[in-house]
Amino acid sequence: MAGSPTEPDDQTIDAVGKLVFALETVEQARGHLYAFHHLTGTADFALGEAVEGLRKAGHPDWADRIQAELIGLNVLADRWTFQVVEEYDDGYYSTFRGMARDVAEDLTGGRLHLHEEQLKRRRRTEGRPGHEMGRPST
């Protein structure tokens, strides 16, 4: 029960829950960043096939231009997508994730999803199969 000696108060649980929600949003953003990385790489390889097709079709000028100007072009100044992903992971993402874990460790005994655990406790049907409480949040 919130506010007991074994659990933090409701305001702390709510605040940590919001922090965890923010972390989960960053996790989604990171997934989109990886999708961006994969899609951009896939497009670059498809361009290579387009260049081959243009050459075979007798359009070497277009093939040469695409080869020289577009294939392998940096997506941002001095960076390909793998470098963007690595910079994000090593900087913002790792800092955010570490901070969320540190806060949860200090304020909720490391339990990231204590808010959801409380929701489950309130919303489940006691004694009904499939509604067991299960292990606590970790």
- Express each pLDDT in 74-93 by its tens digit: 999 999 999 999 999 999 99
Residues 6+ apart with CB under 8 A from 8: 2, 16, 107, 108, 114
- Tell me the pLDDT tens digit for each residue of 118-131: 889 899 888 889 88
Looking at the whole model, is its pTM more than 0.85? no
What's the pLDDT score for residue 1? 46
129: left (phi over 0), alpha (psi -120 to 50) or beta: beta
